[in-house]
């Protein structure tokens, strides 16, 4: 256990250095890419093998949706499935998949062996060694409101031009992928995200069933708070967040009508200043975020892509942007949240609480549809089938 923690800490610091130091990144990428290409000459490709890599190295996101679709369709029974995971020994993956530990020599060997790559991140881990016959689908992991790729920080070397297929949810997103990740126009498919297909087809009965499954009261409405990830302030040692919230105040004002679900970003390593109870519930580790979206009557977030995902349901969104000026100056934003969010930005918890207490629910639903969904996530609903057909039938 101690060795695993040390390794995790080392990798976190390495990741930070690679993201924030151009010269270290360039030297690492150049040398390791050359090594991988040379190694690839000695690893034969398996035409029936697929490797999957989810967000934050978990069994998650759109690759999970595609995998679970394929293993339930007989026409794909002859394929060999491989899942790359952070902790393969403690993750249950249904079906016939081989589980391997991500970012190990075994992992990189399987990437050289598999003809098909399906991921929502960077399966090459910023290297460049894809074989010509390899078929690469990148679904990405959500609409970008904060700057990504070549628009973020000092690096200008993000290059996904070797992908064969790349999902997008709107013209807004398509242009960002082309410009800031160097995705080719011909690789882009207007599918939406496979992970979000279910959000386009939610029923009332499904919501009730999920509330019972999650242990939520049926006689109360659900608030979901899902802040985005904040960069490290200690060079990768931790990625902490401390929302300026007096939860006793929230409970006093809202407990008769609401419960509050907390869902921090998967990269966040510490949540400070929060105690959970019957009103404030911790669902950070719950594996299927779409279940939480489906039961939530109102989403409270800031600059997270989950705003776009949740907008598919056409329910109210509150932008609790308590560090707006600082975040905008350090990370950078593509949109003006004060103008482009349904109610602009709410900088304090008192404003958020008051908005909830006085909300015109139907009017807020319409704002979400018109200002967010119709701009950022209007493509989707059948993305899984589209992606599988593109990769395996065309």
Q: Please give the full DSSP string across 152-168, using - where no structure is assigned.
A: SSS------TT-SEEE-
82 within 8 A of 151, measured Cβ to Cβ:
no
pLDDT at 358 over 80: yes
How far is the C-alpha of 141 from the C-alpha of 143, rounded, in Å? 7
Domain ranges for the chain, please list them. 2-192+381-392, 201-376
Rg (CA), the chain: 21
pLDDT at position 22: 66
Is the fold of 2-192+381-392 the same as that of 201-376?
Answer: yes
How far is the C-alpha of 194 from the C-alpha of 188, rounded, in Å? 14
pLDDT tens by residue, 269-323:
445 456 778 999 989 888 899 999 999 999 999 988 999 999 999 999 999 998 8
pLDDT at 44 over 90: yes
In this structure, what are the phi and psi dihedrals at residue 392, rounded to the nearest 5 degrees?
Answer: -115, -10
Share of the chain above pLDDT 90, in %: 76
pLDDT at 131 over 50: yes
Q: Please give the full DSSP string across 301-325, using - where no structure is assigned.
A: ESS-THHHHHHTT---EEEB-TTHH
The CA-to-CA distance between both ends of the chain, in Å, stands at 46
183 within 8 A of 163, measured Cβ to Cβ:
yes
Tokens standing for residue 342: 């349904």
Angle at 265 between CA 191 and CA 82, to 5 degrees: 55
**Topology annotation, domain 201-376:** Rossmann fold (3.40.50)
How far is the C-alpha of 388 from the C-alpha of 394, rounded, in Å? 9
Q: Which CATH number fits domain 2-192+381-392: 3.40.640.10, 3.40.50.150, 3.40.50.11820, 3.90.550.10?
A: 3.40.50.11820
Residue 24 or 315, more confident:
315
pLDDT at 181 over 90: yes
* Number of C-beta neighbours around residue 235 at 10 A: 11
Burial 33-49 (b: 16+ CB within 10 A, else e): eeebeeebeeeeeeeeb
pLDDT at position 239: 42
Distance between alpha carbon 42 and the CA centroid of its chain, in Å? Answer: 34
β-pairing, 165-167 with 270-271? unpaired
pLDDT at 345 over 80: yes
pLDDT at position 327: 87
Whose CA is closest to 352, among 245, 226, 256?
245
- Tokens 């995971």 correspond to what residue? 85
pLDDT at 237 over 50: no
pLDDT at 4 over 80: no
Q: How deeply is 139 buried, as exposed, middle or buried, from its count of CB atoms within 10 A (0-12, 13-18, 19+)? A: buried
Angle of helix 247-254 versus helix 349-357 axis, rounded to 10 = 10
How far is the C-alpha of 210 from the C-alpha of 60, rounded, in Å? 19
pLDDT tens by residue, 64-92:
999 999 999 999 999 999 999 999 999 99
Q: What is the pTM of this model?
A: 0.88
Q: Please give the full DSSP string across 116-155, using - where no structure is assigned.
A: EEEESS-TTTT-----TT-EEEE--SS--SB--GGGSSS-
Burial 324-355 (b: 16+ CB within 10 A, else e): beebbeebebbeebeebbbbebbbebeebbeb
For the segment 34-53, the average pLDDT, to the nearest whole number, is 98
Q: What is the DSSP letter of 297?
A: S
Angle at 261 between CA 288 and CA 251, to 5 degrees: 175
262 within 8 A of 225, measured Cβ to Cβ:
yes
How far is the C-alpha of 75 from the C-alpha of 64, rounded, in Å? 18
């Amino acid at each position: 256990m101690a060795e695993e923690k040390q390794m995790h800490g080392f990798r976190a610091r390495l990741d930070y250095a690679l993201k924030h130091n151009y010269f270290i990144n360039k030297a690492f990428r150049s040398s390791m890419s050359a090594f991988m290409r040379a190694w690839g000459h000695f690893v034969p490709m398996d035409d029936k093998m697929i490797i999957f890599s989810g967000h934050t190295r978990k069994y998650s996101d759109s690759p999970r949706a595609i995998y679970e679709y394929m293993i339930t369709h007989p026409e794909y029974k002859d394929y060999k499935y491989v899942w790359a995971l952070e902790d393969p020994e403690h993750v249950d993956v249904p079906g016939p998949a081989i589980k391997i530990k991500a970012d190990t020599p075994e992992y990189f060997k399987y990437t050289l062996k598999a003809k098909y790559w399906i991921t929502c991140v960077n399966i090459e881990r910023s290297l460049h060694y894809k074989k010509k016959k390899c078929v690469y689908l990148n679904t990405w992991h959500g609409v970008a409101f904060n700057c990504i790729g070549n628009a973020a920080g000092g690096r200008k070397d993000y290059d996904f031009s070797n992908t064969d297929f790349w999902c997008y949810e709107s013209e807004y997103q398509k242009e960002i992928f082309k410009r800031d990740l160097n995705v080719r126009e011909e690789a882009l498919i207007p599918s939406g995200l496979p992970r979000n297909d279910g959000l386009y087809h939610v029923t009332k009965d499904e919501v009730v069933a999920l509330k019972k499954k999650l242990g939520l009261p049926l006689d109360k409405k659900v608030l979901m708070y899902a802040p985005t990830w904040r960069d490290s302030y200690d060079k990768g040692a931790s990625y902490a967040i401390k929302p300026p919230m007096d939860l006793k105040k929230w409970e006093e004002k809202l407990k008769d009508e609401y419960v509050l679900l907390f869902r921090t970003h998967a990269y966040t390593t510490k949540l400070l200043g929060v105690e959970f109870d019957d009103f404030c519930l911790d669902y950070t580790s719950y594996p299927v975020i779409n279940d939480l979206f489906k039961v939530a009557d109102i989403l409270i977030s800031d600059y997270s892509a989950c705003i776009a995902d949740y907008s598919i349901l056409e329910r109210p969104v509150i932008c609790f942007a308590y560090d707006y000026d600082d975040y905008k100056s350090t990370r950078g934003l593509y949109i003006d949240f004060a103008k482009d969010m349904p109610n602009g930005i709410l900088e304090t918890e008192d404003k958020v609480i008051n908005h909830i207490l006085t909300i015109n629910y139907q009017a807020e639903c319409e704002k979400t549809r018109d200002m967010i969904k119709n701009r950022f996530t209007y493509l989707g609903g059948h993305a899984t089938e589209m992606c599988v057909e593109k990769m395996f039938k065309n």
